[in-house]
């Protein structure tokens, strides 16, 4: 959440300078998504994961490849964006990371089957779909409805993240109190 908040602050601070805002915000969002991916996979037992979810992983791989293809087709409709330019590479990396977050949050939920995992998955769904709506808003049509859908989805996603963090914090506080009570 801190990374996404910093991105919004960057957009405000560098409002007149689109280049700094664009590159700074995208690099920060890419770093934020990468850290979320690390968070999602840090407690996986990969042997067990591949054994239990082989079919899921294959389906997600094909699904993600198709979605990336579609997103890239949408991005390439922008006449100002040339293939294999830095901007194109940033957009592709951005899209790959958001789909990895979505897929890994689903696998994380299936792997752990907890309420927190479900909240994290729902938050990821909302945030990723808001990003897809934003791609449509930026590269296809700047309809006001798309901007409203983006705002609603990202808000709901952050709400789910807030609930996830709150539950995680409360459970860690309970463990800490029970540990200190035992001593």
Residue found by looking up tokens 């109190």 in the block? 177
% residues pLDDT > 70 (the chain): 89
| Residue 81 DSSP class | P
Predicted confidence band of residue 109 (pLDDT cuts 50, 70, 90): very high
Degrees, nearest 5: CA angle 130-39-4: 40
Answer whether residue 14 shows pLDDT above 70.
Answer: no
The CA distance from 21 to 7, in Å, is: 8
Paired tokens of 33? 């998504």
pLDDT in tens, 65-87: 998 888 788 777 777 777 778 88
Answer whether residue 22 shows pLDDT above 90.
Answer: no
The CA distance from 93 to 30, in Å, is: 8
Q: What is the pTM of this model?
A: 0.78
Question: How much is the average pLDDT of 131-147?
Answer: 79
Paired tokens of 60? 């997600």
Q: What is the CA radius of gyration of the chain?
A: 18
């Amino acid at each position: 959440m801190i990374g996404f908040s910093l991105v919004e602050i960057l957009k405000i601070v560098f409002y007149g300078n689109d280049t700094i805002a664009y590159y700074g915000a995208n690099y920060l969002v890419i770093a934020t998504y990468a850290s979320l991916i690390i968070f999602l996979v840090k407690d996986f037992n990969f042997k067990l994961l591949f054994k239990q979810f082989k079919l899921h992983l294959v389906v997600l791989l094909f699904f993600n490849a198709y979605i990336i293809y579609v997103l890239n087709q949408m991005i390439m409709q922008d006449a100002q964006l040339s293939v294999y330019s830095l901007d194109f590479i940033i957009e592709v990396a951005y899209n790959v990371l958001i789909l990895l977050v979505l897929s890994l949050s689903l696998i994380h939920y299936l792997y752990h089957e907890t309420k927190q995992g479900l909240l994290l998955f729902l938050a990821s769904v909302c945030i990723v779909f808001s990003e897809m709506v934003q791609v449509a808003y930026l590269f296809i049509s700047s309809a006001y409805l798309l901007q409203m859908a983006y705002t609603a989805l990202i808000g709901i996603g952050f709400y789910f993240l807030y609930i996830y963090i709150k539950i995680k914090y409360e459970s860690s506080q309970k463990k800490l109190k029970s540990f200190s009570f035992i001593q």
